[in-house]
Amino acid sequence: MKNFQVAIIGGGVIGSAIARELSMFKLDVAVFEMGSDVASGASKANSGVVHSGINSPTSSLKARFCVEGNKMFQSLANELDFPLQWVGKYIIAKNEEEVRDLEHLKKVGMNNNVPGLEIKNRSEVKKKEPNVSCFKALWIPTAGITLPYQFTIALAENAAENNVVFFLETKITDLKKQKNLFLIKTNKGDFQAGVVVNAAGLNCREVVSMMEEPDFQVYPCRGEYLVLDKNYSSLINSMIYPVPVKGSGVLGVHITPTIEGNILLGPSAEFIGDPYDKRTTNETMNTLFLEARGIIPSLPDKAVINAYSGIRCKLASPESGGWADYRIEESKNMPGFINLLGIESPGLTAAPAIAKEIIKMISHLIELNKKNSFKSRRHRRKRFSEMSAEEQSNLIKKDEKWGRIVCRCEHVTEAEVIEALSNPLEARVLSSVKYRCRAGMGRCQGGFCTQHIVRIMEEHFNMDVADMRLKSPNSNLFYGKTRGNQSD
């Protein structure tokens, strides 16, 4: 039975950030992820905002880790080469009453040590955001945007390059403590570990209940988004948020630019019974659009090209107002069992700081020695579409696969798809390609490129069509062939 010093349950942004931090030390570390790739849960489906830290009460863990995490992002982006832009954020007030809310947010932000907060009047906002309708707005310069799945992939791939072992499509089904070791049962066999870190997101309660009686509930809360076509990217320059509705526990429907040039409208907030119910609904889509039009009156309805949803892991019930702080703690009954509970927004921002905190906790359990061989840098190759004509033609001369466009919308080449499928995590589903090189993310949403990616998977990776999947272990693209092979 394979034995690890640390086993992390969940390859979301939290599990991946912890894995990367642990990979700096001489340790055997494993990440168990039940999805077919990292960032299979909330870490893929969120607003991608690097928050500043003005929305959580001073002295809460959410405020502390958000502010600390925010400060760590730039150097992480330099090391790991994931995209990050400090576009800043306006929280807009529609009337005098809402200006009082802005003043309160500013005060909380200043108490949390968030720099540069300023209340701007309408004409100042209009200069930067001519399409936005508002009375006044709070300007937050330290808020940024990133690509959440690329950030998670960057953390995980760097951890894998530094010898953390990732077991994808491997679900933890049971946990037991036997003397000083945890016995970990999975759908792919049994493992042992000295320390177990529960970073299972929405499933955190299920994992705790494998060891002891949980003293908390999880209230899944769905957030739906609309995605606008890149042609409308000039509608805004920064993030535009409303004043949060008091007692809602969420930030409200906002308008967020993305690194790729699409704009996001959302998210909604709807408490749901089934944590896997990621549907998008006509009703919510209409509401999102109307709320966004309240902020940008000129928003054209034909701009919407897609919709998706992410599920928040809330520890507070809707009746109690939906706000609870993170719980990051070692079990009192089971030493070595570390739980991260209720890591909802701003979890993406907080991830690097939370990871440091977990290292501190682990250092009380295992002796941690830095390894000299740690490779802190990960290099992302420039996309074909970002290269100069000269760079493109030089590459095509060396390898004609650079000259074959597989995704017309995003101008992704066959060579880039092969590179994406050769990732160090060995994630080989269609969405692993999409999230690494954008094939399938454009206006036609995979209508053109899917057949080519399937061919590449067959030709270059020897994959059988019956094993090809869209994004998760059960999302087969094909049931088999309608006709036999030519040789049959």
Ligand X SMILES: Cc1cc2nc3c(=O)[nH]c(=O)nc-3n(C[C@H](O)[C@H](O)[C@H](O)COP(=O)(O)OP(=O)(O)OC[C@H]3O[C@@H](n4cnc5c(N)ncnc54)[C@H](O)[C@@H]3O)c2cc1C
Candidates 41-49, 120-128, 296-304, 459-467: pick the segment binding ligand X (CB under 6 A): 41-49
User: Which lies closer to ligand X via its Cβ, residue 21 or residue 344?
Assistant: 344
- 88: contact with ligand X by CB under 6 A: no
The pair of structure tokens assigned to 190 is 């049994």
Tell me whether strands 144-146 and 84-85 are parallel, antiparallel or unpaired: antiparallel
Q: What amino acid positions are annotated as catalytic residues?
A: 51
Confirm or reject binding of residue 51 to ligand X (CB under 6 A).
Answer: yes
Q: Given the rule CB under 6 A, which of 30-38, 241-249, 290-298, 389-397 is the region that contacts ligand X?
A: 30-38
Residues 338 and 198 sit within 8 Å (Cβ to Cβ): yes
3-state helix, strand, coil in the chain (%, to 5): 35, 25, 45
355 binds ligand X (CB under 6 A): no
For residue 142, the number of C-alpha atoms closer than 13 Å in the C-beta half-sphere is 23
Does residue 341 bind ligand X (CB under 6 A)?
no
- Residue 454, strand partner residues: none
Question: Alpha-carbon Rg of the chain, whole angstroms?
Answer: 23
Q: Cα-Cα-Cα-Cα dihedral of 270, 275, 279, 285, to 10°?
A: 20
Q: Is 312 in the site for ligand X (CB under 6 A)?
A: yes
Nearer to ligand X, 134 or 197 (CB): 197
Report the nearest approach of ligand X to the CB of residue 428 (Å): 17
155 to 194: interface string for ligand X, x by CB under 6 A: ----------------xx----------------------
Q: Does 21 bind ligand X (CB under 6 A)?
A: no
Separation CA 322–CA 65 (nearest Å): 19
Work out which of 47, 258, 262, 431 binds ligand X, going by CB under 6 A. Answer: 47
Closest CB to ligand X: residue number: 347
The tokens of 46 are what? 């969120």
SS3 137: strand
**Which SS3 state, helix, strand or coil, does residue 310 take?**
strand
Task: Find the binding residues for ligand X in span 211-270 (CB under 6 A).
Answer: 223, 267
- Cβ proximity to ligand X: between 109 and 310 the closer is 310
Question: What number of chain residues touch ligand X (CB under 6 A)?
Answer: 40
284 forms part of the interface with ligand X (CB under 6 A): no
Q: Which stretch binds ligand X (CB under 6 A): 101-109, 199-207, 361-369, 395-403?
A: 199-207
Residues 383, 171: contact at Cβ < 8 Å?
Answer: no
Copy the structure tokens of residue 222.
């769905």
Query: Does residue 136 sit in helix, strand or coil?
Result: strand
Is 346 a binding residue for ligand X by CB under 6 A? The answer is yes
Binding of ligand X at residue 460 (CB under 6 A)?
no
Q: Which of 5, 36, 46, 284 binds ligand X (CB under 6 A)?
A: 46
What is the rounded CA–CA span in Å between residue 464 and residue 286?
41
Please, what is the minimum distance in Å from the beta carbon of residue 102 to ligand X?
20
Smaller CB separation from ligand X, 13 or 295:
13
Q: To the nearest whole angstrom, how small is the minimum distance from the Cβ of residue 43 to ligand X?
A: 3
Give the tokens for residue 469.
């999947």
3 state SS of 407:
strand
Phi then psi for residue 12, to 5 deg, are -85, -165
Q: Which residues pair with 172 in a beta bridge?
A: 186
* Footprint on this chain of ligand X (rule: CB under 6 A): 9-15, 32-35, 40-43, 46-49, 51, 171-172, 199-203, 207, 223, 267, 310-312, 343-349
